[in-house]
Structure 1
Amino acid sequence: MSITISTARFAPHLKTTARERLLAVSENTWRVIAADGRVLGQIRAVLSAAGTRFQARRFDAAVSGFREVGEFWSPDEACDCLRWM
């Protein structure tokens, strides 16, 4: 079971790439924006019993909402998932 983190102190910092940047949209959700300005999706921090996890979420126009595409231990891994989908 995941619990949404309600504090910005868990804000992720991308370490492995300069191709994307994160823009905070709430205390626990960041928009992933490519260098050319395209929105790739969102990364959402959630707290689990094992620690902080980062969900990669992609916008799905068919349902007018986001769908989770994976859950990772680092924001870099979540960003990689959005980059290559």
Structure 2
Amino acid sequence: MSIFDSIRKTGFRRGPKRILGGLAGGIAASIGWNVWIVRLVVLLSFLLPVLGWVAYAIAWALTPWQDGSIPVARWLGRR
């Protein structure tokens, strides 16, 4: 079992209501919050020096799309 299979088994996916990467939509769907509140929290995290951007980039690269594909896995040539 690979790390990507473990990530997929969590059930977390990028949200269908996405503007950019879909992370806020996925978080909102999984915790039951309004997607705009989560987007605001994500935007506020970008005010943290480097941390907000780096954390978002890592989460974006490792979070599966609705079809289960993970960007890092695709870059590495794995499904």
What TM-score does the superposition give when structure 1 sets the normalisation length?
0.25
Specify the structure having the higher radius of gyration (Cα): 2
Structure (1 or 2) with the greater strand fraction? 1
Q: Which has the higher helix share?
A: 2
